[in-house]
Amino acid sequence: MMSAAKDVRLVIISGLSGSGKSCVIKCFEDLGFFCVDNLPPQLLPKFVGLCRESRSGISQAAIGIDIRERTFLWDFLKVYDRLIEEGYQVELLFLEARDDILQRRFSETRRPHPLAREGTILAGIHSERKTLEDLRRRADRVIDTSDYHVHQLKEVVTHCYLGKGEDKQFSLSLTSFGYKFGAPYDLDLLFDVRFLKNPFFEAALRPLTGNDRPVQDFVLKLPEAKQFLLKLYDLFDFLLPLYRKEGKSYLAIGIGCTGGRHRSVSLVNQLKDYFENKGLLTHCRHRDVEENS
């Protein structure tokens, strides 16, 4: 069973209503995954068996599971554990977003939240979030879609799942952001660089960003920035092999400054070059670089 089971890679997509499950499933379709949405959990073993027996040679599939009721959740977890015990390559992707973002999405589409019943949209969101706490803890990867538009979300999914099975490459996601707009929710490691001198207070640099050479030169020539980067390099050289040893295939790192336009952008670009020179697959996102521009 074990060797045959490894022939099929299965990604199960679930999460909060309104967090972008349908969009993510379309992303997997574009990556060449065979996709099915809203498959009852009890049919998962049968589905995997059909993939293995398919004449078209289905080697990777993505399944959307819509879990709203607690009894339905327990049924899914039992099936999920059984697939893992039998040696299948099963990965659980959990999608979420902040309450205000989910509330806005439901309001804009004028769709009722499935768990709102007679209450408010926000009450439904809180109820679902509590119901899915255990599922979220079991997830191999959690993606917060709050700050992504459709094309950015597709880029993140592509970055995370482009590899196949055991040969997939360890990858890094680097995000620059401004604390004035709130810290991202989906980071594994976060670093605050507001201790560095701010280019914002230099009239010639204020309208520029950390993607521009004058700002990069200003930031990277600061003695504190040079020392900070050296310490980060040492830290990551120590940490990344340990994360990989524990089976982690993806690490999300955030660098934050006040506005997310100058210092954090410059340092994230520098880290991106450092990791890529080491041959690591690296995705870079400057979340707030256009804010207040």
User: Is residue 247 packed enough to be buried (19+ CB in 10 Å), middle (13-18) or exposed (0-12)?
Assistant: exposed
Mean pLDDT for the stretch of residues 256-260: 96
Q: Where are the strands (E) in 31-127, listed by range?
A: 34-37, 60-64, 89-96
Query: Per the domain annotation, does 292 fall within a domain?
Result: no
Residues 15 and 137 occupy one common structural domain: yes
Residues 25 and 79 in one domain: yes
Q: Provide the domain limits for residue 101.
A: 2-168
Q: What is the pLDDT of residue 169?
A: 62
Q: Is 17 contained in some domain? A: yes
Question: Of the residues 142, 168, 194, which one is the last residue of a structural domain?
Answer: 168
Domain boundary (151, 168, 185) is at 168
Q: What is the pLDDT of residue 71?
A: 65
pLDDT value for 117: 66
How many other CB atoms sit within 10 Å of the CB of residue 188?
14
- Asked whether residue 257 is domain-assigned, the answer is yes
Average pLDDT, integer, range 166-179: 78
Write out pLDDT tens, residues 111-151.
Answer: 777 776 666 888 888 888 888 888 898 998 999 998 888 87
Q: How many CA atoms does the CB half-sphere of 288 hold within 13 Å?
A: 21
pTM strictly above 0.75:
no
Look at the chain and report how many structural domains it folds into: 2
Contact 276, 268 (CB under 8 A): no
Token pair belonging to 134: 């255990």
* pLDDT tier, 2 (very low <50, low <70, confident <90, very high otherwise): very low
Helix axes 150-161, 21-30, angle to 10 degrees: 50
- What average pLDDT is seen over the chain? 85
Question: 161 versus 234: which is more confidently predicted?
Answer: 234
Shortest CA distance to 215 belongs to which of 225, 229, 200? Answer: 200
For residue 283, give the nearest of 258, 252, 238 by alpha carbon: 252
What is the per-residue pLDDT across 6-38, written as a single tens digit (0 to 9) for each? Answer: 578 899 999 998 899 989 998 888 777 889 988
Both 139 and 257 in one domain: the answer is no
Across-strand partners of 243? none
For residues 235 and 220, what is the distance between their CA atoms, to the nearest angstrom? Answer: 19
Q: How confident is the model at residue 68 (pLDDT cuts 50, 70, 90)?
A: low
Residue 293 lies in a domain: no
Q: Within this chain, do residues 49 and 160 fall inside the same structural domain, yes or no?
A: yes
Domain boundary among the residues 105, 137, 168 is at 168
The domain that holds 16 is classified in CATH as 3.40.50.300
User: Residues of the chain with pLDDT > 90: what percent?
Assistant: 38
User: Looking at residue 235, what is its pLDDT?
Assistant: 97
What is the average per-residue pLDDT within 187-203?
Answer: 95
Do 222 and 86 share a domain, yes or no? no
